[in-house]
Structure 1
Amino acid sequence: MMIKSGPTGARTFPEKNIVVDLVVAGGGLSGVCAAITAARQGLKVALVQDRPVLGGNASSEVRLWVLGATSHMGNNNRWAREGGLVDEILVENTCRNPEGNGVIFDMILLDKVKQEPNITLLLNTAVYQADMRDASLIRSLRAYCSQNQTEYVLTAPLFIDASGDGVAGFLSGAAFRMGAEKKEEFGELFAPSEEYGELLGHSLYFYSKDTGRPVKFVPPAFALDDITKVPRFSSFNAKDHGCKLWWIEYGGRLDTVHDTETIKWELWKVVYGVWNYIKNSGKFPEAETLTLEWVGMIPGKRESRRFEGDYIMRQQDIVEQRTFEDAVAFGGWSIDLHPADGVFSEKPGCNQWHSKGIYQIPYRSIYSRNIRNLFLGGRTISVSHVAYGSTRVMATSAHVTQAAAMAAVICKEKGLLPADMNAHMPELQQRLLQTGQYIPGKRFVSPQDHAASANISASSELVLKEFPGKPLLKPLDVSTAQMVPLQKGKVPAFIFHAESNGATTLEAELRISSRNGNHTPDETLARQSIAVQPGRNCMKLEFDAEMKDNTYAFIIFHKNPAVTMHFTEKRVTGILSVFNTVNKAVSNFGKQTPPEDIGMEAFEFWCPQRRPEGHNLDFKTAEGLNVFKAENVRNGLERPTTEPNAWVADWQDVQPALTLEWNEPKNISSIELFFDTDYDHPMESVLMSHPESVMPFCVRSYRVKDETGRVLAEKKDNYQSFNRIQLQEPATTRKLVIEVEHPSPDVPAAICAVRCYSGN
């Protein structure tokens, strides 16, 4: 028994002072990525989270899947999964948690944070006060932990607000906005009317499970008693659960910060009313053995405060894909606005309009314009309400906040404040690129990288003339396109094979994107009608066309169910088939046809299929696609863009190896390797399962040797994109040999980038 005597009367909780280089407020996915990014660069970081788990809307408390520019593979943004730390986490989760268990995702995030000795993690700790040096500088944040009844004073020169509602920004006096701007302010034609509403609401989900025996349900007294108050009530069924019910939304007419508890109770009413309807209406006999396994205790928030930076992004930046000299991240989710009345609205649950490709996000939108040591992270960044409809999703938010964290690193190193970083933009961009943070239009270049001066050769280089092995026959039930990376000049001839029981005509097209770097096939270069005879047909396509740039072309075969095309089970880095199909989950109905007055573009959707589908069309080309050269590993790009940007070994190469040689010895301390983890796969973090736990293109085993054959590093069972090898002892050598194994008989080995450095 512990007895402590002391003064009676009023007491105070103990206070603990924590002094660090950077305080990150908010432990959602954005805050986690920021904290780890900064900690790995040497900063001492305090990560303060007001919940018992990390992950925010992605955590087991809310259970929303992480998504971003890939949009469930439902748009034309190819190879667009966000890079850097958020990619590392999603790849890790897919490997360890392919079933999409929210509790396991919590564990993975916690594990990642706890592996970083530079991070002080405070869970269950809410920021409630900002102490200021003056009106424009934060000295410290005060926070309180309800579990240990301790107050914390978190002092640092720099702060990142990744709290969602912007608690640090609000308390410190940072300029912010709530609600939608009128069309006239930014010239945004998609700006909503008052009738539609100015804020997105909150959502709250539930999970059910089958017990194998009858289960009764007695609803609480507060449950919604008339399900017809929900206009979409006929959409409910006994199978959907979790964030597939994203449209159970409410609160857009209220204060989405201060009315959150009111909003939560209304959502609880709906959820328990829905379950009562499913269990007790008699319309769902399949629900007899189902029980309600989980209901969210806190709602997932979509929108509240948006803070003002030196630049406010707007609709035109997204639709026109405007370029910025200070680009540090990218987005690609649709502009996705919801009616303010949410689940009680007669209108569709969302209004999604896509752009033709991904767009840049500028650095000037990720720091406060009036609080000089405050970075904006997550969904708090400086955007209009319309642009927010796209930037708010978690993978985009995390990608942006990684950039804020790296900027904080440079600010600390150079004694700068966030706005001063604009003069150091190339350095920030290069340091982000080095970690795998993809920035459209930017390439990694470093004078310290010895790979830049090496003579690079390979045991083989794939020249793709045809796919080996037997073809796979599939009917042409939907229009199908094979994406092929072509070089500037005349388009080579291609041979495809088709079979039919009768005579018919097959319509083919050669298309490209009107904007190089996009993957929306909106410009037709040539057309060809092909007479198909009964039996097997060898079809030679000779398009009279010239390629103006190195880019992807789309060889399209329009839907004809009477024809069976030859496909292949072989897959190659940077080679992809796409289909003109429908994905209602992201408002993809094959073609986007917006009203003329909302400032969005009309175009077709050509999207991949999830494996094990999505096979490549089996083609032959006599000249061969000679785009997989060893030189690609130092071109500064680690993913396919306008080309595959990878070295790929030949199918028949039994010992694939890449060699870097120098005329004089180099002192090598660290080596960076990038592998292909299929940036086209969205890797939703919860609910949805995945066809494999390791991406089929990823090299699993490799060895690095010096000129004597001594093994400097070796790894088996690799599944990550970015491998950084810190040698125990520096190696002085004129040669590095990287030996890799083919991931499988169906996929040749590929390396996307190699870098090597002296020192740390």
Structure 2
Amino acid sequence: MLKSEQALSRSFLRKDIQADLVVIGGGLSGTCCAITAARAGLKVVLVQDRPVLGGNSSSEVRLWVLGATSHMGNNNRWAREGGVVDELLVENMYRNKEGNAVIFDTVLLDKVVSEPNITLLLNTTVMEVHKKDADTIASVRAYCSQNATDYSIAAPLFCDASGDGVVGFLSGAAFRMGAESKEEFGELFAPSAEYGELLGHSIYFYTKDIGTPVSFVPPSYALDDITKIPKYKKFSAKEQGCQLWWIEYGGRLDTVHDTEMIKWELWKVVYGVWNYIKNSGKFPEARNLTLEWVGTIPGKRESRRFEGDYILHQQDIVSQRAHSDAVAFGGWSIDLHPADGVFSEKPGCNQWHSKGIYPIPYRCYYSRNINNLFLAGRIISVSHVAFGSTRVMGTSAYGGQAIGMAAALCIEKNVQPREIIKQNYIPELQQRLASIGHYIPGVQFSNTKDLVRTASIRASSELTLTELPEAGMLKKLDPAVAQLLPLDKGRVPDLNLHAVTEVDTILEAELYISHQPGNFTPDVLLETVPVPLKPGKNCVPLTFKTILAEKTYVFIVFRKNPDIYLNFSQLRITGILSVFNHINEAVSNYGKQMPPPDIGVDAFEFWCPQRRPEGHNVALKINPGLACFQAENIRNGIDRPVKQPNAWVADLKDTAPSIELTWKEAVMICEIVIKFDTDFDHPMETVLMGHPESVMPFCIRRFTLRDEQGNIVFRKDDNYQTINRITLNNAVHTRKLTLEVSHPSTNIPASVFEIQCYTS
């Protein structure tokens, strides 16, 4: 037995850890940061104060991951984030297309624990920051409640991805809370005091039909007067999970220190809502429903925002302002909520979209006054208005992986984060990011070490698109539809299609482009061709006189006319897409954005795809055919459709598609990188929303690599990922490398975005 004086000297187990980078916060931004840095060679400690990874996307909160694709409800085509976050989303789709949040937990944990360079500390909270000097962090102290261990974690670099900016706050990093005035940045959408300065927290619940009536007795703390919630008459027994995003509260409080109080208020609301649904008698469809799950921690939206060397603001988003130090992009709407949340008379959100994706500069991702502190997630250097867009998890994760690569560059060059700018390492950082599939608007991948740059390229075939053939699918021209086509500069090809009607009417055909290259908002009308139709089947020739000044996507728009039926095609091709002028209320898309004139936001039409199995292309004949799918595209440095498809696409008639790389002299190949099409237009929501397929229909499942003697270098029969990075156990010495692929299906030709080869 210990004596009392010995007991007084007890302390928790102490462990000291040294790393290259410490990432605090295991949400999606911290997770992507840690994985990226670890793969780049850094020793990383990932500190997470919860039992699972994922933050708001985890099974503890259950919000779906979204970013620039915005539920396919805006004009950002092929805008899903690339790199590590793409890998995670594609992996989740393969394992978990039904949207089970618990399975997504396992996907994230699996990826992190598979990285030997990551030390993962779950249930571990940072409590102290120790500094080397006034402007430099030396270490953090953290405590794990599950193993009663006190950690001291030292490193030359730190990344705060904690959501509330725990390390930034304790280290003295400059930060803001609340909204800026209109005058500070000239932001016309800056909210009034009535609207409030902070977004609140949310808690969700899930229900389950057990096939027999079930009663519900509310807890004593349940909200007893449902009329306190202005929209109580709009409740539905069908909504659950993050469809209940509007159950929000806390924007008038301190969203850091009042979180426990906010949580209790949200519990009151949730159980009060469920009591109303179960016991009011107004929802007979809820008779067999039981309350299966209620969140135990709130999903946070806004608290501290830290200051970097640049503060992104409204005009950056709306004008898609270019930044030479861009390392990421966003594309969610400027999505601000009333501070009173569920108790507000105002709409639950106020979303205003830009016409395309916008770059985010590197200067937003590090502290302006703490030398070795990176900022990731929702705490980055943005105004309150810009935060309304950058805060979503897809965008946050994208910034996190940019930081992970920047940290690797800092360690290699022995510099602090700001020095990446000062010493002009931004181009190198951008190229390193591009090499892992991290697309940055305006940046093309170019690596002189890539052997493909010096190879001769020949394909067994190259698609020339002369027809999107009819498939016996007649669809009413309601809503309006547009066919996106990638055209070369010069004359617009002649088009021909069939339209069916029972009355004399007019088919209004229009030719549009986007005013900004790389955008997919049809806001420049080039030509209108009205075509009179007679009852029956009409052959419709479309001849446009427009001469295009450069390569670009065009919109062949067919205006809404319920009296007309158009033919659609089963053929789906990388970089070819139909879009519709329909409504998507989930993202405040009502067919056209019509903002008030004084908030600094553009008015424009929404043209969005339909989700598969819908979303077929308009059946057309094209003369001359589109020859934009050449093999040379695999080394043009862009691995997604932007102004053109940027992919090699084989002809469907080619029974054995292949592409050959040939060198004048033998080369030594140790690593091969191949990038396939996993449909960057699909948002891949992670939870709740089910998906029709676990593997994207454009993705090549089977491929083989052979040397010049025909020997198999590598083979894969079950691919579903975007990027295949193949490290050969034995280097190949050859003058020719052949990639043999199979068409994904009879209606989808094989395609490849990029091939890279390296000696070491």
Same fold (TM over 0.5): yes
In structure 1, what is the equivalent of residue 724 of structure 2?
A: 723
Structure 1 segment 169-184 matched on structure 2, within 5 A: 169-184=168-183
Equivalent-residue separation in structure 2 for 1:710 and 1:3 (angstroms): 71
Task: Deviation per CA, 1:156-203: give whole Å up to 9, x if none.
Answer: 000000111011101111000000000000000000011100000000
Structure 1 residue 86 corresponds to structure 2 residue 75: no
Q: Which amino acid aligns with 2:702?
A: S
C-alpha distance in 1 between matches for 2:754 and 2:605 = 33
Displacement of 1:516? 1.0
Q: 1:252-285: CA deviations, max 9, x gaps?
A: 0000000000000000000000000000000001
Cα distance, 1:474 vs structure 2: 1.2
Contact 2:470 2:568 in 1 (8 A): no
1:494-505 superposed matches below 5 A: 494-505=495-506
In 2, distance between residues paired with 1:117 and 1:10?
A: 37
- 8 Å Cα contact 1:23/1:154 also seen in 2: yes
1:431-442 matches, cutoff 5 A: 431-442=432-443
Instruction: Note if 1:734 corresponds to 2:735.
Output: yes
1:406 aligns with 2:405: yes
Paired with 1:202 and 1:406, the residues of 2 have a C-alpha distance of 31
- State the secondary structure of the residue aligned to 1:428: helix
Task: Output the amino acid matched with 2:361.
Answer: P
Distance in 1 (CA, whole Å) between partners of 2:8 and 2:386 is 53
CA distances 1:20-67 after superposition (whole Å, capped 9, x unpaired): 110000000111101100111111100000000100000000000000
Mapped to 1, the partners of 2:30 and 2:629 lie a distance apart of 37
Alignment of 1:703 with 2:683, yes or no, is: no
Deviation at 1:470, TM superposition (A): 3.1
SS in 1 for 2:475: strand
| Match in the other structure for 2:656 | 655
CA distance in 2, matches of 1:682, 1:652: 31
SS at match of 1:400: helix
User: Residue 106 of structure 2 corresponds to which residue in structure 1?
Assistant: 107
Equivalent position amino acid for 1:327 in 2: A
- Classify 1:6/1:409 alpha carbon distance in 2 versus 1 (closer, same or farther; 3 Å): farther
Deviation track 1:555-576 (CA, whole Å, cap 9, x = no partner) reads 0111111111010111000000
Is the partner of 2:683 in helix, strand or coil? coil
Between the aligned partners of 2:13 and 2:3, the Cα distance in structure 1 is 14
Find the aligned partners of 1:343 and 1:59 in 2 and give their Cα distance.
Answer: 23
For residues 719 and 755 of structure 1, the distance between their equivalents in structure 2, rounded to whole angstroms, comes to 19
CA displacement, residues 479-527 of structure 1 (integer Å, 9 cap, x when unaligned): 0000000111111111111112222111110000011110000011000
Native 8 Å contact 1:471 1:569 kept in 2: no
C-alpha distance in 2 between matches for 1:742 and 1:474 = 28
Q: Which amino acid in the other structure matches residue 538 of structure 2?
A: N
Partner SS state of residue 509, structure 2: strand
**Whole-angstrom distance in 1 between the partners of 2:504 and 2:470:** 28
The answer for the alignment partner of 1:387 in structure 2 is 386
- Residue 425 of structure 2 aligns to a residue whose secondary structure is helix
Residue-by-residue CA offset, 1:127-157 (whole Å, 9 max, x unaligned) = 0100000110000010000011110001100
**Residues 687-713 of structure 1: per-residue CA shift (max 9 Å, x gap):** 101111100000000001111101111
* Match runs of 1:320-399 below 5 Å: 320-399=319-398
Residues 464-485 of structure 1, C-alpha deviations (whole Å, 9 max, x = no match): 0013463421111210000000
AA in 2 matched with 1:496: L
Who is 1:753 aligned against?
754
Number of residue pairs aligned between Structure 1 and Structure 2 = 758
Kept in 1, the 8 Å contact 2:68–2:81? The answer is: yes
Q: Does 1:688 align with 2:695?
A: no
- AA partner of residue 576 (structure 1): L
For the 8 Å contact 1:329–1:361, the answer to whether it is kept is yes
Distance 1:469 1:562 in 2: 20
Q: Percent identity?
A: 66
* Cα distance, 1:455–1:223 mapped onto 2, change above 3 Å: same
Q: Which residue of 2 aligns with 1:317?
A: 316
Maintained 8 Å contact 2:207/2:289: yes
* Equivalent residue, structure 1, for 2:622: 621
TM-score, structure 2 as length reference? 0.99
Structure 2 residue identity aligned to 1:725: I
Q: What secondary structure is seen at the aligned counterpart in 2 of 1:624? A: strand
1:459 corresponds to which letter in structure 2? Answer: S
TM-score (norm 1): 0.99
AA matched with 1:83: G
Amino acid at match of 2:493: P
After TM superposition, the structure 1 = structure 2 runs for residues 38-117 of structure 1, keeping only pairs within 5 Å, are 38-117=37-116
**2:197 matched residue in structure 1:** 198
Letter in 2 for 1:537: N
Query: What amino acid maps onto 1:247 in structure 2?
Result: W
Task: Provide the C-alpha distance between the structure 1 equivalents of 2:632 and 2:203, rounded to a whole number of angstroms.
Answer: 50
Aligned counterpart, 1:237 = 236
User: 1:4 Cα deviation (Å)?
Assistant: 11
CA–CA distance in 2 between the matches of 1:5 and 1:728?
61
Q: Determine the C-alpha separation between the residues in 2 that align with 1:56 and 1:549.
A: 44
2:471·2:567 contact (CA, 8 Å) conserved in 1?
no
SS at 2:407's partner residue? helix
**Alpha-carbon shift at residue 622 of structure 1 (Å):** 2.0
Aligned to 1:278: 277
Once residues 587 and 46 of structure 1 are traced to their aligned partners in structure 2, the CA distance between those partners, rounded to angstroms, is: 40
Cα distance, 1:11 vs structure 2: 2.0
- Matches for 1:235-274 after TM superposition, within 5 Å: 235-274=234-273
SS in structure 2 opposite 1:412? helix
Looking at structure 2, the residues matched to 149 and 172 of structure 1 have their Cα atoms a distance apart, in angstroms, of: 25
Whole-Å Cα distance in 2 between the matches of residues 477 and 424 of structure 1? 51
Paired with 2:7 and 2:44, the residues of 1 have a C-alpha distance of 38
Partner deviation per Cα, 1:559-597 (whole Å, 9 max, x = no partner): 111111010111000000000000011000000000011
Structure 1 residues 721-748: Cα deviation after superposition (integer angstroms, max 9, x where no partner) = 0110101111111111000000000100
AA at the equivalent of 2:744: P
Q: Report how far residue 665 of structure 1 moved.
A: 0.8
Query: Which residue number in structure 2 is paired with residue 443 of structure 1?
Result: 444
User: Which 5+ residue runs of structure 2 have no aligned equivalent?
Assistant: none
Query: Equivalent residue for 1:35?
Result: 34
Where 1:117 maps in the other structure, the secondary structure is coil
Q: Secondary structure at the match of 1:7?
A: helix
Task: For residue 3 of structure 1, report the CA deviation from its aligned partner.
Answer: 9.6
Aligned to 1:145: 144
Specify the SS of the correspondent of 2:264.
helix
The aligned residue for residue 550 of structure 1 is 551
Could you tell me whether the CA contact under 8 Å between 1:471 and 1:618 is conserved in 2? no
Residues 469 and 621 in structure 2, CA contact (< 8 A), matched pair in contact too: no
Aligned mates of 1:198, 1:251 — CA distance in 2 = 11
Q: Separation in 2 of the partners of 1:621 and 1:402?
A: 42
Letter in 2 for 1:66: V
Q: Measure, in 2, the Cα distance between the counterparts of 1:535 and 1:465.
A: 25
Mapped to 2, the partners of 1:203 and 1:564 lie a distance apart of 44
CA distance in 2 between partners of 1:83 and 1:171 (Å): 33
Distance 1:536 1:178, change over 3 A: same
| Corresponding residue of 1:679 | 680
- Counterpart of 2:687, as a letter, is V
**2:295 alignment partner AA:** G
What displacement does 1:538 show?
1.1
Give, in whole Å, the separation in 2 of the partners of 1:580 and 1:155. Answer: 54
- Cα deviation for residue 210 of structure 1 reads 0.4
Q: Distance in 1 between matches of 2:625 and 2:705?
A: 30
Shift of 1:6: 8.6
AA paired with 2:629?
F
The answer to whether the 8 Å contact 2:67/2:392 transfers is yes
- How many Å separate the matches in 1 of 2:198 and 2:3? 51
Return the alpha-carbon distance in structure 2 between the equivalents of residues 564 and 333 of structure 1: 34
Structure 1 partner of 2:562 = 561
Whether the aligned pair in 2 keeps the contact of 1:36 and 1:113 (CA below 8 Å) is yes
Query: Do the aligned partners of 1:701 and 1:741 also contact (CA within 8 Å) in 2?
Result: yes
In the TM superposition, residue 10 of structure 1 has moved relative to its aligned partner by 4.6
